Amino acid sequence: MPERMEVPTFVDARGTLVVIEFDEVPFTVRRMFAVTGPEHGATRGATRGNHRVNCSELIVLVSGSVTIRVGGDGDSLDPGIFLETPGAALKVPEGAFLQYDLPDAGSSIVVLAERPYAEAEPAS
């Protein structure tokens, strides 16, 4: 089951600072990547028939918003968990199928993963 989390954020006239202390992540971080939405938005995961995550992941919203769909298989994704506040996060368990929607170029996430990259398993 996915678990909502929060990471510290600090907002002032200079912008928003989203802080991720690796010691506070509920697993050892082995990989990190960032994803930004294109100008007209995009769904990631769907183009590959959704995908199964091969390890625990923590998806952290940096800016904008994201809708994350998680399920036990590629055909039964939930209606979506909406994150709209920088620092909002979702821990996704190993083995879950995942898809996320970034609505525009102002939306970006950072994903922390428990394992190095490996090809995603397609939906069955």
Q: What range defines the domain where residue 77 resides?
A: 3-119
Q: How many domains does the chain have?
A: 1
pTM attached to this predicted model: 0.86
DSSP, collapsed to helix, strand or coil, labels residue 29 as: coil
DSSP structural state of residue 95: T
**What is the dihedral sign for C-alpha 21, 24, 25, 30?**
positive
Mean of the pLDDT values across residues 69-74? 78
Residue 56 forms part of a structural domain: yes
Given a cut of 60, whether residue 70 has pLDDT beyond it is yes
pLDDT band with cut points at 50, 70 and 90 for residue 87:
very high
Q: Are 109 and 25 in contact (CB under 8 A)?
A: no
Backbone phi and psi for residue 48, each to the nearest 5 degrees, phi listed first:
-105, 15
Integer Cα distance of 57 and 81 in angstroms: 15
Residue 124 forms part of a structural domain: no
The CATH number of the domain where 98 resides is what? Answer: 2.60.120.10
Q: Which residues of 45-69 are buried (b: 16+ CB within 10 A; e: fewer)?
A: bbeeebbbbbbbbbbbbbbbbbbbb
One-letter identity of residue 80: G
The pLDDT tens digits of the residues spanning 89-101 come to 999 999 888 888 8
Residue 96 forms part of a structural domain: yes
Residue 99 forms part of a structural domain: yes
Residue 85 forms part of a structural domain: yes
